[in-house]
């Protein structure tokens, strides 16, 4: 349920209504914008005396939120949320460009890519230290030492970093290393214990869409994080499983439009894991921006054919720099900057 207060309602009146609701065991979060104040109410809202609330002269209207996700719903937060990743805004006018290798391999590799990403104008460095591989015999990532190499490379190149967490057991380590943005991979989108643990932090979370998750399931996973108090959630569309096997997954760009309508959270698109083919990555990234994504995430490797993980879908630093040039021309067409 959302209570909309009239423009200019005093803080005192807002506080009164909030404390009345909290006394009834409900949670009430206040969002103020230039236009109005919105109070998002979660809990057993059926017990709320809506007649009494609407009779208060400063209440404009009460809107029932009929989706199972509440805090992630657009109604709870009419304006777009901007998540700040160590000073880099994601969700505003400026596009976020996340780039880097699938996995961290060596100091030279990650520092070289970091420098190339920074020079080309990328905004966040990616790199996996803990890799969720389909085969237990495949390279699983360098683990703690890889994560440390990523942090060092990011700090040197003056780029915030994003890396994937596989288990809540590693959360303390991620926090102590000060990872700027913690990625929940597609395979963990419904690892609810992990989501709740991340929700108890205030770290920005990049929540990838599960391989076969509906948009509603994806937003419910965001809700898990937000229900624990962490509102810093960035969604990432990375392709879903369909009957099509030409591409690794099927990039669902319609989902970007749907999520932008249903939710206030920023959404970025990862065309690398969606396509699985490097020749498609730049064009799909441009399509994502054209459709309204708040940013992109692409895999970049200096020598993709030698990459330890996801080489076929990795682009070179030179191709990445060309993509950045194209995005600079495209961004203003869709009301964005880069
Ligand atoms: C990744 O980003 O390297 C990754 C494993 O992604 P996903 O969870 O989307 O497969
Ligand atoms: Mn990958």
What are the structure tokens assigned to 3, written together?
A: 């209570």
- CB of residue 101 inside a 6 A radius of ligand 1: no
pLDDT digits (tens, 9 = 90+) for 105-135: 999 999 999 999 999 999 999 999 999 999 9
Mean pLDDT of the chain: 97
Burial class (CB within 10 angstroms; exposed 0-12, middle 13-18, buried 19+) of 26: middle
Residue 97 has pLDDT above 90, yes or no: yes
Please check whether residue 137 lies inside any domain of the structure: yes
Let me know whether 11 and 121 are in one domain.
no
Strand partners, 250: 240
- Structural domains of the chain, count: 2
User: Are residues 215 and 92 part of one domain?
Assistant: yes
Do residues 88 and 215 share a domain? yes
Domain residues for 244? 83-334
Q: Is 305 part of a structural domain of the chain?
A: yes
Same-domain check for residues 51 and 101 = no
Same domain, 326 and 221: yes
Span from the CA of 11 to the centroid of ligand 2 (angstroms): 48
Closest CA to 27 of 226, 234, 221: 226
Would residue 276 count as lying in a domain? Answer: yes
Which residue's CA is the nearest one to ligand 1's atom 4? 185
Q: Kindly give the number of the ligand 1 atom that is closest to the alpha carbon of 102.
A: 3
Please tell me the distance from the alpha carbon of residue 231 to that of residue 91, in angstroms, as a whole number.
13
Q: What is the mean pLDDT of residues 328-332?
A: 98
Residue-level length of the chain: 338
Residues 47 and 106 in one domain: no
* Number of neighbouring beta carbons within 10 Å of residue 132: 13
Whether 260 and 139 share a structural domain: yes
Is residue 73 domain-resident?
A: no
**If you average pLDDT over residues 172-194, what whole number do you get?**
98
Q: Taking the C-alpha atoms of 84, 90, 96 and 100 in order, what is their torsion angle to the nearest 10 degrees?
A: 60
Nearest-angstrom CA–CA distance, 215 and 224? 14
Q: What is the pLDDT of residue 35?
A: 81
Query: Last residue of some domain: 63, 96, 114?
Result: 63
Q: Is the CB of 295 under 6 A from ligand 1?
A: no
Question: Does residue 204 fall inside a structural domain?
Answer: yes
Answer whether residue 77 is part of any domain.
Answer: no
pLDDT at 33: 82
Whether 78 is in a domain gets the answer: no
Please tell me if the CB atom of residue 209 comes closer than 6 angstroms to any atom of ligand 1: no
If one compares 277 and 32, the residue with the highest pLDDT of the two is 277
Strands 27-32 and 37-42, bridge-based pairing: antiparallel
Q: Which pLDDT value is given to residue 227?
A: 97
Cβ 307 under 6 angstroms from ligand 1? no
The per-residue pLDDT for 145 is 98
* 45 and 90 belong to one structural domain: no
Domain boundary among 30, 63, 96: 63
**Spatial distance between the Cα atoms of 28 and 22, rounded to a whole number of angstroms:** 7
Q: Which CATH number belongs to the domain containing residue 185 in this structure?
A: 3.20.20.70
> pLDDT band at 246, cuts 50/70/90?
very high
Q: Do 56 and 135 reside in the same domain of the chain? A: no
Closest atom of ligand 1 to 128 CA is 3
Measured CA to CA, the distance from residue 275 to residue 278 in angstroms comes to 8
Percent of the chain with pLDDT over 90: 97
Residues 45 and 89 in one domain: no
Confidence band of 228 (pLDDT split at 50, 70, 90): very high
CA of 273 to the centre of ligand 1 (A): 7
Give the integer Cα–Cα distance in Å for 258 and 42.
23
Instruction: Report how far residue 168's alpha carbon sits from residue 332's, in angstroms, rounded to the nearest whole number.
Output: 40
What is the model's pLDDT at position 18?
96
pLDDT digits (tens, 9 = 90+) for 24-81: 999 999 998 888 899 999 999 989 999 999 999 999 999 999 999 999 999 999 999 9
DSSP H/E element including 299: strand 295-299
Does residue 126 share a domain with residue 15? no
Which atom of ligand 1 is nearest the CA belonging to 208? 9
């Amino acid at each position: 349920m959302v209570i909309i207060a009239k423009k200019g309602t005093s803080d005192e009146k807002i506080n009164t209504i909030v404390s009345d609701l909290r006394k009834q065991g409900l949670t009430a979060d206040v969002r103020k914008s230039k236009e109005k104040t919105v109070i998002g109410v979660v809990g057993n809202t059926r017990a709320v005396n809506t007649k009494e609330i609407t009779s208060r002269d400063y209440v404009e209207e009460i809107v029932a939120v009929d989706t199972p996700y509440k805090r992630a719903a657009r109604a709870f937060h009419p304006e777009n949320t901007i998540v700040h990743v160590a000073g880099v805004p994601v969700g505003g006018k400026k596009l976020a460009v996340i780039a880097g290798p699938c996995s961290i391999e060596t100091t030279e590799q990650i520092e070289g890519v970091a420098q190339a990403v920074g020079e080309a104008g990328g905004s966040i460095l990616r790199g996996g230290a803990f890799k969720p591989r389909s085969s237990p015999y495949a390279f699983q990532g360098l683990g703690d030492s890889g994560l440390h190499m990523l942090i060092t490379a990011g700090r040197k190149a003056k780029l915030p970093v994003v890396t994937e967490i596989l288990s809540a057991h590693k959360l303390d380590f991620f926090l102590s290393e000060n990872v700027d943005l913690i990625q929940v991979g597609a395979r963990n989108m419904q690892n609810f214990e992990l989501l709740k643990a991340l929700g108890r932090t205030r770290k920005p979370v990049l929540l990838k869409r599960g391989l076969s998750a509906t948009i509603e399931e994806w937003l419910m996973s965001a809700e898990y994080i937000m229900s624990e108090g962490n509102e810093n959630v960035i969604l990432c569309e990375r392709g879903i499983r369909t009957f099509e096997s030409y591409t690794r997954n099927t990039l669902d760009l319609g989902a970007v439009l749907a999520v932008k309508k249903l939710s206030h959270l920023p959404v970025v698109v990862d065309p690398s894991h969606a396509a699985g083919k490097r020749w498609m990555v730049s064009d799909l990234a441009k399509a994502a921006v054209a459709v309204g994504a708040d940013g992109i995430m692409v895999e970049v490797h200096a020598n993709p054919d030698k990459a330890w993980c996801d080489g076929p879908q990795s682009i070179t630093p030179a191709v990445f720099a060309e993509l950045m040039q194209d995005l600079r021309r495209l961004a203003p067409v869709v009301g964005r900057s880069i």
